[in-house]
Amino acid sequence: MRNTGGDRVQEAVAGCVAVLRTATDRDWEGVKAGGLTWSCRDTAFHIAEDLLAYAGQLAGRAQDRYVPFEIVPEDGVDNAGVLDVIETTGALFKATLHTTSREVRAFHPYPFRNANREGFAAMGIAEVLVHTHDIAEGLGLAYEPSAELCEFVLTTIFPHVRPGPAPWPTLLWATGRGELPGRAPVTQWRWHNNLVLPADRLTLEGVTPAAAADLHEGGDGGFEWVDGEPFEGTRVAAGLLLKAYEEGVLRPEFGVFVLVRREDGRAVGGMGFHAAPDEAGEVEIGYDLVEGGRGSGYATEALRTLSTWALARDDVRRILAKVEQDNLPSQRVVTRAGFTKVGEDDGLFIHELRG
């Protein structure tokens, strides 16, 4: 799983331009784009603005706000010229994605105030797809992007949305533009970039359903692993995350995190929650490290970081960690992280940490 999203951006832009070029001789200014208040022309230029803005966020490594710039079309530019701007900004965005390292995160407000290159790629593609739909609807054109593009968007920035019968109608429904059988209409929506928690020597990077699917199927999830691949427990946890996503019960921040070393950007293990907190505020945590990442205190550091984050929330009061009775290194990890042994269950020691 090494696609940075740039090729997908190019595909989305090409599909947008191909369908809209069939109607450049039409009046775009006097026609509203689907259910929007914007005209088709304003919506088309908005696509270009978004593509360049996202490129700017990543290229400028913006951390606290949007980079304060905008683009303005030349006076008298025609509809074909607007499409030229979309193609150009799409190419700039693609190049930025290809040259941005996996560890880079830049400012975006939803929901954790940052996103990585895959997140920005998915947001840019989403803008292209849904707004091309809006314009096509206003102009009476037929348009449907590939299922693969829609699935990339859904599994990257809509992890809280249960998959529907097909990716395109699901994306339209999730963005308030369509209906799905058995689901209430969406009137307000936001996409959901993955949570990242900084530690001392590590970064805990939340796994998206897209990355989880790749891990579960034997891939690397988009990470460079110290031993070449993750430990088996991480693949199992990714499968459980994927199952929760498919059932529509995934709360992404209570999923799986990959532990990435700051010094070289390489992954040393996985850690995460078995499920979201129950009504009593109880949640169980688990972890594993690849062999090359053991013996350096990474698991303890990550467990302290993730536990501190969880217990700072109103919906978490108690964290459980169940460790095999003969696994002395793991018992030392939970003890150093502040957990206390409170019982036994089927060959496991039960440890807890309370807020």
> Which residue carries 């895959």 as its tokens?
118
Is the Cβ–Cβ distance between 9 and 125 less than 8 Å? yes
What pLDDT does residue 355 have? Answer: 87
- How many angstroms separate the CA atoms of 266 and 258, rounded? 10
Segment-wise mean pLDDT, segments of 10 residues, the chain, 355 residues: 84 98 98 98 98 98 97 96 98 98 95 97 98 98 98 98 98 97 96 97 98 97 96 96 97 97 97 97 97 97 98 98 96 98 95 96
pTM above 0.95, yes or no: yes
Is the Cβ–Cβ distance between 344 and 351 less than 8 Å? no
CATH 3.30.230.10 is held by the domain 196-354: no
What pLDDT does residue 4 have? Answer: 75
- How many angstroms separate the CA atoms of 204 and 186, rounded? 32
What pLDDT does residue 224 have? Answer: 96
Q: Identify the bridge partners of residue 272 per DSSP, sorted by sequence position.
A: 256, 286
Q: Residue type for 283, please? A: V
φ, ψ of residue 323 to 5 degrees: the values are -125, 140
Q: Strand, helix or coil at 323?
A: strand
Alpha carbon of residue 104 to chain centroid: 14
What pLDDT does residue 218 have? Answer: 97
Residue 282's H or E segment, with its range, is: strand 282-289
Rg (CA), the chain: 22
CA atoms within 13 A on the CB side of 288: 13
Closest CA to 54 of 125, 151, 112: 125
pLDDT in tens, 120-154: 999 999 999 999 999 999 999 999 999 999 999 99
The CATH number given to 6-174 is 1.20.120.450
Q: Strand, helix or coil at 147?
A: helix
Domain boundaries, the chain: 6-174, 196-354
